Amino acid sequence: MSPVSKKRRVAKKKKKPHNGLRSQEIVKYICLQCSMTEEIPLNVVRNFDVMDDGDPTVPPQFSCEECGGGMYPEYYKGVHGDEYKIGDVRK
């Protein structure tokens, strides 16, 4: 029998594990209007995601500093396991 839950638990706590591993993961956001890209640290996006208890079908969104348009993640997997891709909204 193989273990089922080998996967990393989705972190609900804000505390970071302090084991010397410095993960600098970022989520790349792309403006839907002017295509500007911005890299946002994953933990920032996560925090937004956790705080925002709204519609799970939309990712945490940021507004573009250039044009004020909505930015969408190039790829982001949400805290509830939902995946968001820029391809979903842009053809």
Binding site for Zn ion (CB under 5 A): 31, 33-34, 36, 64, 66-67, 69
Nearer to Zn ion, 31 or 45 (CB): 31
Output 66 or 82, the one with its CB closest to Zn ion: 66
Integer angstrom CA distances of residue 52 from 13, 48, 57:
15, 6, 12
Cα–Cα distance measured from residue 53 to residue 47, given in angstroms and rounded to the nearest whole number: 11
**Least distance (Å) from Zn ion to the CB of residue 14?**
30
**87 sits in which H/E element:** helix 86-89
Give the nearer residue to Zn ion in terms of CB position, either 45 or 71.
71
